[in-house]
Amino acid sequence: MIKRSIIKLARLIIILIILSFFVFALLYIAPGDPAEKRLTSQGVVVTKEVLRAEQERLGLLRPFFVRYGEWLFGVVRGDFGVSFKDDRPVAPKLMAGLKNTAILAMVSLIFSLMVSYPLALFSAARKDKLSDHLIRIISFIGNSLPNFLISVLLMYFFCIKMNLFPVIASGSAIGLMLPVLSLSIPMISRFTRQMRSEIITQLSEDYVTGMRLRGVKEPFIAANVIRNSMGHVITIIGLQIGTLMGGSVVIETIFRWPGIGKLVMDSITARDYPVIMGFVLIMGTIYVVINQLTDVCYHLLDPRVET
């Protein structure tokens, strides 16, 4: 077990190094000059001498491998560098944005599970009945709608027409509600369909038939079905956490939620390469770690599965 964990840790480090190298290379060859962007945003008249001095100060004139090596060794020491945009350390900016994104992602995930699991159980128990067809149709529509469209519709009705919520979320609890709904509606629809399918599969297994023939009460059968379907549910959750952490950029931008997605979008516009690199490294780590934890949880639920 220890040897396997060491191998997985080594793989994680190799994956992150390769990922960071390719992203650094893409940023290196990308059009646009961070120094020019910074000077222009400050209202400075950009001459060749001023531009060159700013490029020298930001270290943009050094060779590619020198810049990448310095950045990588800094990351190993816990130093993600300094933002090109405002000269602030990158790590505190990323941590503040990551905290807000984690809040948005976790609240959305918990709310989605609280709604979708009972719906999936009810739909599976009422298979091919009117209520089952109705839930499937609604979940299909919810899964088909893109997040940005849901966000705009919610903002129009609840912020502009009814004036119940602020247009700008600004990190408040009441401002969190509409971003959570925007992320949760497609997720609830997706979870309901996937969980319903897994529960129906479990209900058709021989152990359920045997329990019913022995006169076991339905609540006990339901408890066993839920337990045996948990492995599939954990896999869905694991995949969705990574998607939520890195994929809520549009929602954060529309509602002005101060998360890491909005931060990186602003950084892309400003050509703030240290922040972009820090974001890529953190998101890559989260994806890999969540996948490994999902495998471990799946193994704990079913020891027959190798991690």
Does 176 reside within a domain? yes
Residues in the chain where the model's pLDDT stays below 50:
none
Per the CB < 8 A criterion, the answer to whether 60 and 271 are in contact is no
Question: pTM for this one?
Answer: 0.82
Does 141 reside within a domain? yes
Which of 231, 241, 232, 248 lies closest to 291, judged by CA?
Answer: 241
Task: Note the pLDDT of residue 137.
Answer: 92
Does 249 reside within a domain? yes
Cite the DSSP H helix spans in the chain.
2-29, 34-41, 48-58, 64-76, 90-125, 130-144, 147-154, 173-203, 206-213, 218-247, 249-255, 260-269, 273-301
Does 179 reside within a domain? yes
Does 85 reside within a domain? no
94-150 confidence digits (pLDDT tens) = 898 888 888 888 999 999 999 998 898 888 888 888 988 999 999 999 888 888 888
Question: In terms of residue numbers, what domain contains 215?
Answer: 107-272
Does 214 reside within a domain? yes
Q: Work out how many domains the chain is built from and give that number.
A: 1
Task: Note the pLDDT of residue 114.
Answer: 92
Task: Note the pLDDT of residue 305.
Answer: 56
